[in-house]
Amino acid sequence: MRILVAPLNWGLGHASRCVPLIERLLSEGHEVVLGGDGESLTLLKKHFPALRVLPLAPLNLRYSTRGRQVLAMLRALPRIIRSARMDNRMLANYLRYEPFDQIISDNRFGLYLLHKSQFTNHKSPRLCRSTEITTIYITHQLTIALPRPWRWLEPLVARWHRRIISRYDECWIPDEQQPGLAGRLSHPSVLPANAKYIGVLSRFSGKTFVPDKTYQVVAVLSGLEPQRTLFEQSLLRRYENADESVLIVRGRMQDPPTVVRHGNITIAPWLDDSHLAAYMLGAKRIICRSGYSSVMDMYALGVMQKVEWHPTPGQPEQEYLAEVCNQ
């Protein structure tokens, strides 16, 4: 089969959890084409430099510098909607000359296949689902966590998300059916009819790494700016006079691979999976955001007990996952 795999560019997590999926597809003999934008697409290109790439709509979101992100996300909502619509138009254009058997979208809202099969008039096309291509939507957020004052809106937001999910043939949930790593996020009271659990997706699953004890503390950064930079600055202040050897992986996939050392602190823009896994296995403490892909990676490596979780301020999903992981 010929398959398009396209993750959302919201931090690196959506792309990193697509890595094991792409590896499996390639091992089964399928032809994979990468789709996306920004840092997440750069991550996939570094893992799979031989694969073709189809650019999709750029998103370029930013968080607020303050602890609450609700207003920042509300302001970004029109951009998210425009990006989804642009994705849909770009996909339709690609399909004119790019034949695909499957389209796998990791949280990109617009990669469904409603096509204009017949016009009742010029302004009112009749839309129907294509039966020639299977569309798959990957998400762990069947319940989208909102800040406590807004929690009463969660059922409404979940209903809106189910409408998006219903536009796809299948919805894959990267979690176990029971008990699950994502708690109520991936285990709603009502599961969409087209949804199924596919197990934990981690780039470290099923692989063996030799622990490297070079660093006592390994901090893995990710997420949207400016919170990623603020987190990095807080770690530099925390460890600048410490006795521990510290590695900070900045999560900047588009930066040149230049390693910088400041006393006991080593800073790398990014690392390949084998080195990153080895350093984390050998460390006494791991510091990272509590994004769901990070949770799956730490679970796959068996290092959950030594992770210090730092949810992005004002990000309810990460705050909830940090609570679940610390239980």
Chunk the chain into consecutive blocks of 10 residues (it has 327) and report each block's average pLDDT, rounded to whole numbers.
Answer: 96 95 98 96 97 94 62 73 95 93 97 58 39 91 86 88 95 94 93 96 96 98 91 97 96 92 96 97 98 97 98 92 92
Q: Which pLDDT score, from 0 to 100, does residue 5 have?
A: 98
CB 86, CB 108: distance < 8 Å: no
Which pTM value belongs to this model? Answer: 0.90
Q: Which pLDDT score, from 0 to 100, does residue 123 have?
A: 39
C-alpha distances in Å from residue 55, one per residue of 9, 86, 87, 177 = 12, 11, 9, 34
> Strand 307-309 and strand 285-288: pairing?
parallel
Residue for token digits 């999903």? 317
Q: What is the DSSP letter of 59?
A: -
The angle at the Cα of 212, spanning 242 to 289, to the nearest 5 degrees, equals: 60
Q: Which pLDDT score, from 0 to 100, does residue 60 have?
A: 76
